[in-house]
Amino acid sequence: MSSIQTQFLDLTAHHDRYAAIDPRAAMKGSAAGKTVFIAGASRGIGQATAVAFAEAGAKAIYLTARTEAALKETQALATTANPDTQCSYSVCDVTDAAEIEAAVADCVAQFGGIDVADANAGYLGPWVKIGDSDPEGWWRNWQVNVQGSYHVIRFTLPHLIESARIRAAEGRSGGHLILLSSIGAQLVMPGASDYQTAKHAINRLCEFVQSDHGEDGIKCFAMHPGGVATELGRNMPDHMHEYLVDTPDLAASFAVWLSSGQADWAKGRYLSANWDITELAALEEQILRDDLLVNRLRTGAF
């Protein structure tokens, strides 16, 4: 088992939003005045994330996905959650750099900037052994999960850096970037070579964003959303479905907490939405001292 996981087996595991991260309670107002850009917002976790940021008082939310009807549904849900939150969208594919660049530009033109970017779009194909895999299907995981995340990072970064500067002057925290990871990044399971290697790369990409742009004020996180019975999650083999016990609201509320400033000390790291944030915060000193929750060989590995 990865050392990332063994350090935190004793943390309380949550499966739904709870008081400390509830956007309607403890996190209410934490997103006030902020604009949130969400890629992959048409359903499931992305849709719940839009609603959660609206509940937390976001000034504006900008949604992207490939299906307009689903985007309209998410827009309606966010507006219902908070009529004061402006919400707009554009249809685009995260694997197309020009489309993401245009969506980011449209968001900034409408709302003046971006304070939080959530690279939520994901893909999970059938689990098959490498020798039986379809080359195009295998690579599709990397195109959506890694290339798509890179596109969101690349084109939102200038605006997130500006957000960090502006919010710091206000005495607040800005410039938050959330990449959708998975506990699968820490595992090696037969048939999951495409998905699990892609998510492992996401964790390292998060570290690189922090290394390259931490001095610019960026706070990047690789977030495991829990086991959620989304359409994507149900693409796992049937015997894995018993682990899909978490609600989309858990990851959505955890994303709000990550963007509140309270988690800034853990930037550049892999974090699980299942972990209790109070217990996690109590381990801050140890995590920073021992450089935990990052991809490293164990001491004495050789």
Active centre residues (catalytic): 195, 199
Q: Label each residue of the chain as H, E or C.
A: CCHHHHCCCCCCECCCCCHHHCCCCCCCCCCECCEEEEECCCCHHHHHHHHHHHHCCECEEEEEECCHHHHHHHHHHHHHHCCCCEEEEEECCCCCHHHHHHHHHHHHHHHCCCCEEEECCCCCCCCCCHHHCCHHHHHHHHHHHHHHHHHHHHHHHHHHHHHHHHHHHCCCCCCEEEEECCHHHHCCCCCCHHHHHHHHHHHHHHHHHHHHHHHHCCEEEEEECCCECCCCHHHCCHHHHHHCCECHHHHHHHHHHHCCCCCHHHCCEEEECCECHHHHHCCHHHHHHHCCCCCCCCCCCC
